[in-house]
């Protein structure tokens, strides 16, 4: 491939684009990202400098706490020669949707996005759950509002519908052990947690598995259905890329013969607007309802019986609820830390693509 002034082929190829959802991308796009991520991974491990975003600034808004996301984006920017600002809502006038403005505490997202567009090179946002008032989709709207007003790329660091960099990291981890997912059984499964988690990860992983042509199984108890428009998109991707989608409420059946299992908690959406009957948020009822499904836990026995699939989880896993310590600490085919690591590589890839310039 052609190099531009010593920069690798991927720097700046999508200059100025947002990255809000993998649904705006194709299988070909994802393969480009993974190739770029592999190049950056090799250079990172060989300590080869990669100053492709020299002097650039990423503004990161964390409405929710984070370990992997914050550290992988911040370290990634440093490794690319730039710098990331860690912005928590209490430190700034919180950027807010027009209908949620509170005088003297918040500032219109449109104003924040336009100001920061003058100072730096991209804006990244994480917002879901309480920070998005548990009205599912409101977090994603916040990110879309940033994208509407910003003249620099906006990156989705996880909202209440999508978590695109997680599923990119996941699919890279999968492709690093199984070079082609076509025809492979890839299970996105519910697993119990007492906490209320967003639907972003299972939805985005299902999207990505379907985009890679896998045989996607989605396993969950009744009440944990994914959003219908996401399911439609997943089915469309399966059709387009030669895979399939099946939904079951039997974890064991789903795991049987799988190549990959991705068992993870999410919230039963019928307890939250816009899906709740009365349009209200019912957190306590949701917690109580999900407590019936404590038996959705991943153990070594379950994995052995299923034929030893690769175990996947975005982290942090709730030990003793979603999965046993034994699986996390000793299961030979766990990709848990590889997935976390790949956050760094895929994010550096996408940042290089959308923030970089093809020419000096």
Choose the stretch contacting a second copy; rule: CB under 8 A; options: 17-25, 26-34, 46-54, 175-183.
46-54
User: Based on CB atoms, which residue is closest to a second copy, 191 or 328?
Assistant: 328
72 makes contact with a second copy (CB under 8 A): yes
Angle between helices 164-177 and 336-355 in degrees, nearest 10: 120
Nearest of 345, 347, 359 to residue 44 by alpha carbon? 345
User: Based on CB atoms, which residue is closest to a second copy, 118 or 228?
Assistant: 118
92 makes contact with a second copy (CB under 8 A): yes
287 makes contact with a second copy (CB under 8 A): no
User: Based on CB atoms, which residue is closest to a second copy, 175 or 287?
Assistant: 287
62 makes contact with a second copy (CB under 8 A): yes
Rounded Cα distance between 20 and 1, Å, is: 27
294: left (phi over 0), alpha (psi -120 to 50) or beta: alpha
Three-class DSSP category at 203: helix
223 makes contact with a second copy (CB under 8 A): no
Instruction: For the segment 107-166, give every residue that binds a second copy (CB under 8 A).
Output: 107-108, 110-112, 114-116, 118-120
5 makes contact with a second copy (CB under 8 A): no
User: Based on CB atoms, which residue is closest to a second copy, 244 or 357?
Assistant: 357
CB of 215 to a second copy, least distance (A): 30
**In this chain, which of 81, 223, 236, 242 binds a second copy, going by CB under 8 A?**
81
Longest dimension (CA), the chain: 59
Total residues binding a second copy (CB under 8 A): 63
Q: What is the CA radius of gyration of the chain?
A: 20
Three-class DSSP category at 292: helix
Residue 103, Cβ neighbours under 10 Å: how many? 5
User: Based on CB atoms, which residue is closest to a second copy, 47 or 332?
Assistant: 47
93 makes contact with a second copy (CB under 8 A): yes
**In this chain, which of 104, 277, 278, 295 binds a second copy, going by CB under 8 A?**
104
**Strand pairing category for 185-190 and 260-264:** parallel
Rounded Cα distance between 239 and 213, Å, is: 9
CB of 243 to a second copy, least distance (A): 30
**In this chain, which of 299, 319, 326, 330 binds a second copy, going by CB under 8 A?**
319
Rounded Cα distance between 143 and 153, Å, is: 11
**How does DSSP assign 139-172, residue by residue?**
HHHHHHHHHHH-SS-EEES--SS--HHHHHHHHH
Angle between helices 336-355 and 68-79 in degrees, nearest 10: 50
**In this chain, which of 16, 55, 257, 279 binds a second copy, going by CB under 8 A?**
55
Dihedral angle, C-alpha 290, 294, 299, 303, nearest 10 °? -50
**In this chain, which of 101, 239, 279, 292 binds a second copy, going by CB under 8 A?**
101
CB of 100 to a second copy, least distance (A): 13
59 makes contact with a second copy (CB under 8 A): yes
CB of 113 to a second copy, least distance (A): 11
86 makes contact with a second copy (CB under 8 A): yes
**How does DSSP assign 273-290, residue by residue?**
TTTSTTS---HHHHHHHH
Contact 86, 74 (CB under 8 A): yes
**In this chain, which of 2, 5, 103, 277 binds a second copy, going by CB under 8 A?**
103
Question: Can you say whether the dihedral through the CA atoms of 338, 341, 343, 345 is positive or negative?
Answer: negative
Dihedral angle, C-alpha 151, 198, 233, 350, nearest 10 °? 40
**In this chain, which of 3, 65, 182, 240 binds a second copy, going by CB under 8 A?**
65
- Where along the sequence are the contacts to a second copy (CB under 8 A)? 47, 49-51, 54-55, 57, 59, 62, 65-68, 70-72, 74-76, 78-79, 81-83, 85-88, 90-93, 101, 103-104, 107-108, 110-112, 114-116, 118-120, 193-195, 315-319, 321, 328-329, 337, 340-341, 344, 357, 360
């Amino acid at each position: 491939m052609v190099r531009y002034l010593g920069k690798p082929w991927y720097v700046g190829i999508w200059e100025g684009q947002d990255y809000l959802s993998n649904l705006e991308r194709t299988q070909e796009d994802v393969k480009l990202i993974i190739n770029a991520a592999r190049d950056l991974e090799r250079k990172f491990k060989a300590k080869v400098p990669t100053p492709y975003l020299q002097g650039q600034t990423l503004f990161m808004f964390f409405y929710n706490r984070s370990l992997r996301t914050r550290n992988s984006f911040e370290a990634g920017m440093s490794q690319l020669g730039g710098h990331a600002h860690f912005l928590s809502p209490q430190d700034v006038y919180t950027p807010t949707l027009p209908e949620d403005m509170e005088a003297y505490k918040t500032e219109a997202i449109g104003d924040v996005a336009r100001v920061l567009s003058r100072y730096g090179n991209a804006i990244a946002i994480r917002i879901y759950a309480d920070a998005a008032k548990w009205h599912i989709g409101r977090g994603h709207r916040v990110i879309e509002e940033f994208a509407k007003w910003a003249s620099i790329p906006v990156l989705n660091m996880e909202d209440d519908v999508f978590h695109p960099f997680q599923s990119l990291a996941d699919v890279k981890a999968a492709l690093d052990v199984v070079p082609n997912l076509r025809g492979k059984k890839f299970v996105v499964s519910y697993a119990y947690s007492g906490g209320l988690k967003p639907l972003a990860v299972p939805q985005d992983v299902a999207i990505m598995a379907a985009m890679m042509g896998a045989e996607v199984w989605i396993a969950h108890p009744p009440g944990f259905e994914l959003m219908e428009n996401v399911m439609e998109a997943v089915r469309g991707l399966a059709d387009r890329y030669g895979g399939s989608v099946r939904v079951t409420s039997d974890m064991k059946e789903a795991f049987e013969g799988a190549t990959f299992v991705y068992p993870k908690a999410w919230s039963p959406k019928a307890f939250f607007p816009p899906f709740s009957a009365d349009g209200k948020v019912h957190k306590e009822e949701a917690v109580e309802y999900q407590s019936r499904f404590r038996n959705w836990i991943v153990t070594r026995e379950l994995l052995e019986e299923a034929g030893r699939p690769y175990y996947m989880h975005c982290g942090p896993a709730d030990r003793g609820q979603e999965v046993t310590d034994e699986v996390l600490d000793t299961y030979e085919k766990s990709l848990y830390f590889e997935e976390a690591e790949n956050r760094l590589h895929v994010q550096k890839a996408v940042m290089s693509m959308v923030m970089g310039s093809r020419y000096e």
